[in-house]
């Protein structure tokens, strides 16, 4: 029996009351989780620790007398500081060729479920170069739902930009305003001192993240171990998030293989007291258990002290069945000013 202290699945779906964004930040671990056994053609989604081996850079580095067992960030930073431009160009070509060939499997993946489970008010900001998130976004445009905004904090092999009209599109396609080809944005490589203002596209993506953070009710960090490997990015994120002591009502969720203690230590600047959760799997997260209603579920549970029921994403549905299932959210969303 449903009471005033309980919120049923049907009530959660029908209720649209959160207008603030849910911001999701993706790292390499998110793409690895999306394709744990490799992409459509069994190509590995690399992490920084196995990047050199996955991309196939070992023979090249060994030929140059460079220790290929080092972390890719250390290797690239060292070459950059020594101004080894010819070697850098060889590496860049190999990296961009590898990432450009990656494809999503034909079945729905975590990234498909992710983009379908957030709304037009929300933001996914990714550090990843691979095209998988973009591809998931494109193929789920047929679902008839308003999908979240995307931001590419280190560039992306699939994304282009029209400098004249300040419009983002698919690299190689034509700008919808001036008709010129969208020029692919340069990827931001792991050097010790990054400049997020040098490229106008990258600068704008970071502005979008800052705006999202300023208004967010919840942030989710998925597969990103930034505090250990990317101090420049973390500093930029800290500035965007602001004083954690002024974020008393916001919730931070981490989808990670790190322990609770590691998370609380590594991400301390983003956590207000106990306002965080750790999930080892995307399908145990708020996004997956309350698709398109994370804000409503959050308000019901934490502010109104109600019992809420999970409405988990069906993991085994094909695309047609999945889009039909997500259709349950459309009526409520189309009949409200909140998106």
The rounded distance, in Å, linking the Cα atoms of 239 and 211 is: 11
- Helices 72-81 and 85-100: crossing angle, nearest 10°? 140
Torsion sign over Cα 241, 252, 226, 168: negative
pLDDT digits (tens, 9 = 90+) for 183-214: 998 898 877 778 888 889 999 999 999 999 98
Q: Spell out, as residue ranges, where the chain has pLDDT lower than 70.
A: 1-3, 226-230, 244, 246-249, 272-274, 339
**DSSP of 143-173:** G-SPPPEEEETT--TTEEEETTTTEEEETTS
Distance CA(200)–CA(167), nearest Å, equals: 11
Which strands form 183-184's sheet, in the order they lie side by side?
167-170, 159-162, 183-184
With contact defined as beta carbons under 8 Å apart, do 270 and 219 qualify? yes
The predicted structure's pLDDT at residue 96: 95
φ, ψ of residue 273 to 5 degrees: the values are 45, -115
Q: Which residues contact 127 (CB under 8 A, 6 or more apart)?
A: 25, 26, 27, 28, 153, 154, 224, 226, 230, 233
Instruction: Look at residue 331 in the predicted model and tell me its pLDDT.
Output: 86
Strand order in the sheet with 251-255: 149-152, 123-126, 22-26, 218-222, 251-255, 276-279
What's the whole-model pTM score? 0.94
Give me the pLDDT at residue 1, please: 52
Q: Residue for token digits 């040098």?
A: 198
Spans of all domains in the chain: 6-39+105-153+190-334, 48-100, 159-187
Specify the pLDDT at position 267.
83
Tell me the two tokens of residue 45.
């989604």
CA distance 192 to 182: 29
CATH number (3.10.310.10, 3.40.50.1220, 3.10.420.10, 3.90.226.10) of 6-39+105-153+190-334 reads: 3.40.50.1220
pLDDT tens for each residue of 31-81: 999 999 999 999 999 998 899 999 999 999 999 999 999 889 889 989 999
Phi, psi at 199, each rounded to 5°: -100, 130
pLDDT the model gives residue 302: 86
- For residues 288 and 222, what is the distance between their CA atoms, to the nearest angstrom? 13
């Amino acid at each position: 029996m449903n009471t005033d202290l309980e919120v049923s699945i049907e009530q959660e779906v029908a209720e649209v009351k959160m207008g603030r964004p849910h911001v999701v930040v993706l790292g390499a671990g998110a793409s690895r989780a999306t394709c744990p056994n490799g992409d459509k053609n069994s190509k590995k989604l690399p992490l920084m620790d196995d990047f050199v081996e996955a991309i196939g850079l070992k023979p090249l580095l060994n030929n140059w007398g460079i220790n290929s067992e080092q972390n890719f960030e250390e290797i690239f930073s060292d070459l950059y500081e020594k101004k080894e431009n010819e070697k850098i160009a060889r590496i860049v070509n190999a990296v961009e060729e590898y990432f450009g060939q990656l494809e999503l499997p034909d079945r729905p993946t975590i990234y498909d479920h992710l983009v379908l489970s957030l709304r037009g008010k929300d933001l996914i900001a990714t550090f990843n170069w691979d095209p998988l998130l973009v591809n998931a976004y494109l193929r789920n445009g047929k679902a008839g739902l308003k999908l979240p905004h995307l931001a590419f904090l280190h560039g992306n092999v699939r994304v282009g930009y029209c400098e004249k009209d300040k419009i983002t599109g698919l690299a190689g396609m034509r700008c919808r305003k001036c008709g010129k080809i969208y020029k692919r944005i340069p990827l931001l490589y792991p050097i010790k001192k990054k400049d997020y203002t040098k490229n106008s596209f990258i600068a704008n993506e970071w502005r979008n993240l800052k705006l999202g953070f300023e208004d967010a009710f919840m942030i989710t960090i998925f597969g990103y171990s930034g505090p250990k490997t990317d101090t420049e990015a973390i500093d930029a994120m800290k500035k965007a998030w602001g004083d954690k002591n002024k974020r008393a009502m916001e919730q931070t969720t981490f989808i990670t293989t790190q322990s609770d203690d590691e998370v609380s230590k590594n991400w301390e600047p983003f956590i207000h007291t106990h306002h965080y959760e750790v999930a080892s799997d995307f399908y145990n997260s708020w996004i997956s258990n309350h698709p398109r209603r994370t804000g409503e579920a959050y308000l019901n549970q934490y502010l109104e002290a109600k019992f809420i029921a999970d409405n988990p994403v069906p993991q085994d549905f094909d695309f047609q069945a999945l889009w039909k299932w997500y259709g349950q959210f459309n009526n409520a969303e189309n009949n409200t000013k909140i998106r």
